[in-house]
């Protein structure tokens, strides 16, 4: 799963160049941009890009890694002072917010999270932890899986990146998903 041999010095530099270029280009023009453009911006051949990141999702996962790491860290810090359900709710909201940083990223969220990048791993782990905690404390139904949460986040991201709806729309949808549609 993880790459065995360490990269050669020049290769490592190119890898970083690619990631920096990807961040710029994805931010500017969305997650669907041509990978040739990324390579060009990085000053690197397209072959080099593909050797390092065989799929677009690999590149997205790597480019997002730091962000996801931050997402996990924020959640960890916050969850100490929140009840389990609120912590999970806040986590979901953040996940959606992060997914909307690159336009068009939402559709890949599920795939990307499954790639073993440190950040992806951190975010998944944190989500699983929060869910489990909420479930053992009886705050959340026991038959919900982490995968369900990812789907929810995906759907909300998709819905909110079409409409130019603000953060209150995201919060509303998260609330609906957390508390249900039926009046209580």
Partner DNA sequence: TTGCAAGTGGAGGATATCTCCACATATAAA
Partner DNA sequence: TTTATATGTGGAGATATCCTCCACTTGCAA
Beta carbon of residue 5, minimum distance to a copy of itself (angstroms, whole number): 31
66 binding partner (options a copy of itself, DNA, none; Cβ < 5 to 8 Å by kind): none
State yes or no: residue 30 binds DNA (CB under 7 A).
no
**What stretch of H or E contains 177?**
helix 167-179
Please, what is the angle between helix 56-79 and helix 84-99, to 10°? Answer: 150
What is the rounded distance in angstroms from the CA atom of residue 16 to the CA atom of residue 40? 14
164 touches, from a copy of itself, DNA, none (C-beta below 5 to 8 Å by class): none
φ, ψ dihedrals at 164, nearest 5°: -90, 55
Which C-beta is closer to a copy of itself: that of 1 or that of 182? 182
Find the binding residues for a copy of itself in span 148-167 (CB under 8 A): 148-152, 154-156, 158-159, 162-163
Instruction: Retrieve residue 165's tokens.
Output: 């709806």
159 CB-near residues (< 8 Å, 6+ apart):
165, 173
- In this structure, the dihedral spanned by the alpha carbons of residues 114, 141, 92 and 131, taken in order and rounded to 10 degrees, is -60
> Is 96 a binder of a copy of itself (CB under 8 A)?
no
Kindly state whether residue 44 participates in binding DNA, applying the rule CB under 7 A.
yes
CB of 173 to a copy of itself, least distance (A): 6
Euclidean distance between CA atoms 90 and 76, whole angstroms: 11
Closest CA to 101 of 54, 63, 136: 63
- Minimum Å gap between C-beta 13 and DNA is 7
| Residue 9 interface partner, choices DNA, a copy of itself, none, CB cut-off 5-8 Å depending on type | DNA
What are the residues binding a copy of itself (CB under 8 A)?
85, 88, 107, 110-111, 138-141, 143-144, 147-152, 154-156, 158-159, 162-163, 172-173, 176-184
What are the residues binding DNA (CB under 7 A)?
5, 7-11, 14, 33-37, 43-48, 50-52, 54-56
């Amino acid at each position: 799963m993880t790459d065995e041999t360490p990269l050669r010095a020049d290769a490592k530099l190119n890898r970083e160049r690619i990631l920096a270029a990807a961040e710029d280009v994805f931010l500017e023009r969305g997650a669907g941009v041509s990978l040739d453009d990324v390579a060009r911006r990085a000053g690197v051949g397209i072959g080099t890009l593909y050797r390092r990141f065989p799929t677009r999702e690999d590149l997205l996962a790597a480019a997002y890694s730091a962000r996801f790491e931050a997402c996990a860290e924020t959640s960890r810090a916050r969850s100490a002072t929140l009840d389990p359900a609120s912590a999970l709710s806040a986590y979901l909201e953040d996940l959606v917010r992060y997914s909307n940083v690159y336009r068009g990223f939402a559709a890949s969220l599920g795939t990307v999270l499954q790639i073993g990048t440190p950040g992806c791993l951190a975010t998944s782990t944190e989500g699983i932890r929060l869910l489990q905690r909420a479930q053992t404390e009886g705050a959340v139904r026991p038959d919900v899986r982490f995968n369900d949460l990812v789907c929810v986040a995906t759907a909300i991201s998709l819905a909110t990146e079409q409409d130019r709806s603000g953060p209150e729309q995201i919060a509303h949808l998260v609330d609906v998903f957390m508390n249900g549609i039926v009046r209580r």
